[in-house]
Amino acid sequence: MPTDTLAQGDDRGSVLIVLHQERSSPGRVGQLLVEKGYRLDIRRPVLGDKLPSTLADYAGAVVFGGPMSANDPDDFVKAEINWLDVPLREKRPLLGICLGAQMLVRQLGGKVQSNSDGSTEIGWYPLHATEKGRRLMHWPKMVYHFHREGFDLPRGAELLAEGDAYPNQAFRYNGHAWGLQFHAELTRAMMHRWVVHGAHRFILPNAQQGREHLEGRMLFDAPLRSWLNEFLDIVFTGHSAKAETETRIALPG
């Protein structure tokens, strides 16, 4: 059943959270949104939860990752991809993470597929911001991945960040819809679970071993969390700390 988590302090409204497993969590995205004053309306369509016919009463939506593919023939996958027309049509803030981004790409007419050499991104890999991405904000140099499919850049979308194995890592569409191929939402406990339950994937091409996942977290997680905190402000309010700082510098003293 849908659940609603109350925020502390100012009430900025509800964010629809779409998860794809019974024990999945919105992790650090959920924690940060609650800290910012949002309520979380958590739905799991794979378990029968209905998605709202409008987001008029929501501050926006976040569609998370999962073990399934956006190309799967399951009815709930197709229905969720079709449902993404709601935030797109209503121009409500929308963030897709990994599978969520791939579903968004499918809704926008793009392809989701693996590399021809079977390479994956499972572990920590470099991220390269594009010129448009750098104008928007400062990006982390390393990000965490757990996928073996990537996506085309949808027609009309702006590429914000690139990767080495899978080039399309972050994009913005029509000013309000965002897709991320990587994961910034993992708490320490979530990463430990992924490393344990996903260990069978570490033999795949280009995948890193579990110890590299955990060692990378100690090195790279702090800037990734800082980035996520600012990125969520940009997605849901349009506020950019980088742009605000540059504006202040440009103003005469």
Known catalytic residues are 98, 183, 185
DSSP string of 125-159, one letter each residue? EE-EE-HHHHHH----SEEEEEES-EEPPPTTEEE
- For 220, the token pair is 């790279």
State how beta strands 150-151 and 112-113 pair.
antiparallel
Q: How far apart are CA 16 and CA 159, in angstroms?
A: 25
**Inter-residue contact 181 to 144 (CB < 8 Å):** no
Q: CA 38 to CA 59: how far, in whole Å?
A: 8
CA gap 194, 174 in Å, rounded: 33
**CB contact set of 232 (below 8 Å; sequence gap of 6+):** 29, 32, 33, 36, 95
